[in-house]
């Protein structure tokens, strides 16, 4: 960034007065409520997909567009939230997102065809995605700088309640009503959140002179959307054996590369270069991409394994998975109390250890999966995840200047979503290949010349000339090969968590000084504006 850019940059708008008393409580409540409602819908739709598939008379591949459309719409808006917030004001964008999300609930519930439902789901992701980064930014700004960790914990508790209530509430609604009610049930919450936010969320001045960088916007939004689409479609299309996936992936990588180059050389880029000159922010962006995969993978793998290998019914599976949500809630409450007194890097290391140790234990499981083992490992990993998320958000985002805050939060969550998608796609591909390889290796041992089949007890129990015996062996080999693939996946998450521990020390510990600017301990604020990079 040149000195000219700094000189011509718009001054940071004055921060609104921090609310106190009952107004403070209501502001935090309504800002969190909108995000909670959005997160509830995000999770509950996955429960309703089989019922929607029957209503629309579609295949599993076709009904997946309900999720793909939402993810693409979310990627588009998350990438551009920062600019729209600066241009039109944070409160205005938050109100628009809350109102648009609430209207989309009506459209989704009234849809009569898959195309109609997918369009509404795309719109839901498009207008509602801003609720997550803006909701957190509004709550954090309501607290003094030294309590930003506690603010993130309080906001996280609200969001987690939506995620936990999604599967439970969805099961109840589907049991006694019908799938449109998974959308309708949240409409009153959206209306209440809209009214509360309109009254209590403070306005921030809009920068009417904010330049819109079409090149940066197009390359970032289209590139991120194509990457999400390729990752969502890859497994169904057999990855790089599909021309569609190859074209989407190559186009995404080219566009994201052009976005990076354009950001470096453009006079007024879509994303402020100052973000990328902050060491903590860039370290946090890499961190959150890996953490996104690390947090999402157990949630993705565990239910499949419990039903496929353990034979647990969906209801029992949901009850066991609730222990993860309980661990997260307990961890967020504790972190909120100690965040301002404990070194955030120590908390992240502690959280990574609590993620790695249960994952190593899960990698030793056999096909006899005990419910008690599932419960305690999920609870500990959920508890550990809280000790990662809150201090990581604080270290990454607390040092951003006010003018870049919303943009920084938006990109933070965009990278989290992309990291989660990449992690799920990679582990699904690895699991599929491992299952096939394990099956082939185990099958090689089934032949008359294997000495094990020569032992009298085995010979009496298994007759390799009997088709029923061969079918029994095939079923056992299939189950064992899939279980080994799950073990490998859990071991991979253990290695990921362990590998991140040394990287924690790249972060500089923040020392908050004023609500407007936060600097690191070893970098005191400069008295005069300097060209970007001079203080790094």
Secondary structure, 3-state, 109-159:
HHCCCHHHHHHHHHHHHHHHCCHHHHHHHHHHHCCCHHHHHHHHHHHHHHH
pLDDT at residue 454 greater than cutoff 70: no
Give the model's confidence band at 455: pLDDT under 50 very low, under 70 low, under 90 confident, else very high: low
Task: Give the whole-number percent of the chain exceeding pLDDT 90.
Answer: 8
Architecture (CATH level 2) of domain 275-523: Up-down Bundle (1.20)
Query: What percent of the chain has pLDDT above 70?
Result: 85
- The C-alpha R_g of the chain, in whole angstroms, comes to 25
pLDDT of 109 > 80? The answer is yes
Separation in Å, CA 79 to CA 84, 129, 221: 10, 9, 6
pLDDT value, residue 12? 45
Average pLDDT over residues 17-29: 77
Nearest alpha carbon to residue 111 among 72, 36, 58? 58
Of the listed ranges 18-32, 226-240, 265-279, the least confidently predicted one is 226-240
Token output for 127: 């207008």
Q: Using alpha carbons, select from 152, 122, 127 the residue that is nearest to residue 139.
A: 152
Average pLDDT over residues 251-267: 86
pLDDT given for residue 8 in this prediction: 42
Distance CA 292, CA 355 (A): 13
Task: Provide the 3-class DSSP secondary structure of residue 94.
Answer: helix
Question: pLDDT tens across 291-322, in order?
Answer: 887 877 777 778 778 877 888 776 677 778 77
Tokens standing for residue 426: 């990679």
| Residue 47 CB-half CA count within 13 A | 28
* pTM given for the model: 0.72
Does residue 354 or residue 53 have the better pLDDT? 354
The pLDDT of residue 360 is: 93
Report the mean per-residue pLDDT for the chain. 78
Torsion of CA 392, 128, 13, 220, to 10 degrees: 70
The mean pLDDT of 13-38, rounded to a whole number, is: 77
Vertex 79: Cα angle to 425 and 102 (nearest 5): 95
Higher pLDDT, 487 or 397: 487
> For the residues 246-266, what does the mean pLDDT come to?
87
| Contact status, residue 81 vs residue 137, Cβ threshold 8 Å | no
Q: Is the pLDDT of residue 255 over 50?
A: yes
Strand partners, 520: 510
Q: Flag whether pLDDT at 425 surpasses 80.
A: no
Name the least confident of 194-198, 470-474, 527-531: 527-531
**Which CATH number applies to 17-208?**
1.20.1250.20
Mean pLDDT on 413-436: 79
CA 360, distance to chain mean position in Å, is 23
pLDDT confidence of residue 350: 93
């Amino acid at each position: 960034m040149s000195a000219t850019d700094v000189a011509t940059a718009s001054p940071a708008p004055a921060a609104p007065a921090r609310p106190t008393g009952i107004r403070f409580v209501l502001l935090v409540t309504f800002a969190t409520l909108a995000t909670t409602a959005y997160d509830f819908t995000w999770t509950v739709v996955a429960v309703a997909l089989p019922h929607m598939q029957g209503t629309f008379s579609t295949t599993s591949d076709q009904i997946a567009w309900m999720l793909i459309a939402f993810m693409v719409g979310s990627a588009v808006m998350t990438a551009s939230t920062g600019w729209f917030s600066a241009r039109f004001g944070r409160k205005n964008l938050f109100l628009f997102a809350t109102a648009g999300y609430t209207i989309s609930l009506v459209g989704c519930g009234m849809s009569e065809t898959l195309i109609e439902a997918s369009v509404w789901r795309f719109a839901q992701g498009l207008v509602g995605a801003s609720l997550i980064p803006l909701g957190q930014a509004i709550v954090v700004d309501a607290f003094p700088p030294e309590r930003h960790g506690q603010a993130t914990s309080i906001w996280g508790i609200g969001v987690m309640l939506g995620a936990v209530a999604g599967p439970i509430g969805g099961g109840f609604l589907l049991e006694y009503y019908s799938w449109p009610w998974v959308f309708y049930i949240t409409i009153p919450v959206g209306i209440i959140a809209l009214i509360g936010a309109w009254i209590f969320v403070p306005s921030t001045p809009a920068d009417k002179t904010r330049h819109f960088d079409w090149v940066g916007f197009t390359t970032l939004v289209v590139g991120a959307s194509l990457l999400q689409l390729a990752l969502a479609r890859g497994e169904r299309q057999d990855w790089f054996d599909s021309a569609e996936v190859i074209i989407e992936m190559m186009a995404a990588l080219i566009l994201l590369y052009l976005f990076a180059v354009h950001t470096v050389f453009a006079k007024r880029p879509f994303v402020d270069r100052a973000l990328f000159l902050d060491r903590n922010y860039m370290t946090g962006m890499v961190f959150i991409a890996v953490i996104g995969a690390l947090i999402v993978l157990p949630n993705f793998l565990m239910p499949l394994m419990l039903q496929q290998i353990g034979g647990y019914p969906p209801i029992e599976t949901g009850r066991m998975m609730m222990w993860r949500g309980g661990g997260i809630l307990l961890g967020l409450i504790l972190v909120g109390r100690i965040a301002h007194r404990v070194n955030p890097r120590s908390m992240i290391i502690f959280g990574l250890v609590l993620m790695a140790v249960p994952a190593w234990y899960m990698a030793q499981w056999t096909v006899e999966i005990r419910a008690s083992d599932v419960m305690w490992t999920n609870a500990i990993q959920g508890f550990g995840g809280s000790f990662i998320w809150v201090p990581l958000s604080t270290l990454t985002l607390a040092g951003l200047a006010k003018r870049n805050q919303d943009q920084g939060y938006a990109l933070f969550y965009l990278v989290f979503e992309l990291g989660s998608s990449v992690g799920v796609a990679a582990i699904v591909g690895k699991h599929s290949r491992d299952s096939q390889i394990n099956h082939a290796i185990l099958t090689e041992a089934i032949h008359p010349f294997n000495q094990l089949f020569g032992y009298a007890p085995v010979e009496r129990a298994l007759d390799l000339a009997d088709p029923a015996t061969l079918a029994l062996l095939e079923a056992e080999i299939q189950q064992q090969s899939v279980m080994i693939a799950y073990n490998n996946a859990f071991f991979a998450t253990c290695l990921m968590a362990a590998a991140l521990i040394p990287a924690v020390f790249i972060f500089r510990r923040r020392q908050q000084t004023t609500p407007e600017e936060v600097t690191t301990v070893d970098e005191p604020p400069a008295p005069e504006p300097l060209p970007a990079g001079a203080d790094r």
